[in-house]
Amino acid sequence: MNFGLDETQRDLRELAADLLAGDEPERRLREAGLLALCLPEEAGGAGLGPVEMAVVLREVGARAASVPALPALAASLFLARHGTRDQQERPATLAVREPGRALADPPATTADQTDDGWVLTGRKTGVPYLAAEVLADARADALADVLVAADAGVFLVSRPESSPEFTSTGEPAATVVLDRTPAERVAGPESVAALRQIMTVAVAAQASGVLAGALELTTSYVKTRRQFGRALAEFQAVTMQVADVYIAGRALDVAMWSAAWRLGEGLPAEEDLALAAFHTGEAFRALYTCQHLHGGLGLDVTYPLHRYFAHAKHLSHLLGGQDAQLDLIGALA
């Protein structure tokens, strides 16, 4: 693939950066249509795909911005590919993570078909920016027959029962409790993997931006901070640590852009996504180095680096941590 952005993608990057630099970035993103850019034009979007989603989310991460771009873009991309026109026009968030389970594990939430439609039973955690509609994946009840099992997949749930959660970034999140909650089926079992793949590349894209923003902040600091009459950047040990952060960022970029491109082209992307998820965890580890190079300033919650650290931690946890990703990489090998 060509890792360079085309003209449309470069314009999109510049627009996102400009909107995020001003006041009320969420409102500005919505008014510009950037949170719906993956929807078809008929549903109010621009019909763009995973690479363009990644372009916007990387800019969000580069500013450690607390805006609902990730769930909005990922949900709209999924609905653009699998949903009906009516479903595409209803803003939704993602309800994929479950207690004690890695993102790669099959969902524990169950779906049962009744005379009136579908009902879901289970618990979803870390649901970001809870909206009126929630996209939740589910499996058929273990006791159901094979024909019914083939009809499980991804569902839209309207106004589910929920309780608030604490996040490291301070962004709103919730635990959603499904107790035979009525749900509308979006797509079948093949869509479960698709939803998780879109979420993975979205998280990796935002994490890529977070690490890039933190690295820029750190390199600027070590160039100007002086000790023993010399700038920190003149010490070999410091430059080697900065280089380690740069390498972590490049590794994440390569895996993330490759995964986004392959998803956009309809090609198998499991290996690229697993690597991108693993390097998202590495990005969080690299933030420790950025903090170390800032000394005591790196722990100051009023200094911008603290926001980058919090976002890197949050994004890493969304994908289940590095051990889970290593298990998945091993299984794919």
Domains of the chain are: 7-88 (1.10.540.10), 92-188 (2.40.110.10), 192-332 (1.20.140.10)
Q: Which residue has the tokens 């590919």?
A: 81
Per-residue pLDDT at 2? 66
| pTM given for the model | 0.94
Structure tokens that stand for 62 in this block: 């580069």
Whether the Cβ atoms of residue 183 and residue 156 lie closer than 8 Å to each other: yes
Q: Where in the chain does DSSP place strands (E)?
A: 92-95, 110-114, 117-128, 133-140, 153-158, 161-165, 173-187, 226-227, 230-231
Structure tokens that stand for 252 in this block: 């994440």
DSSP state of 295: G
Task: For residue 330, give the nearest of 262, 259, 271, 256 by alpha carbon.
Answer: 271
- Positions in the chain short of pLDDT 70: 1-2, 141-151
Per-residue pLDDT at 147? 43
Per-residue pLDDT at 60? 98
Per-residue pLDDT at 148? 44
Distance between CA 269 and CA 261 in Å, rounded? 9
**DSSP string computed for 156-201:** EEES-EEEEE--TT---EEEEEEEEEEEEEEE-THHHHHHHHHHHH
Distance between CA 164 and CA 22 in Å, rounded? 29
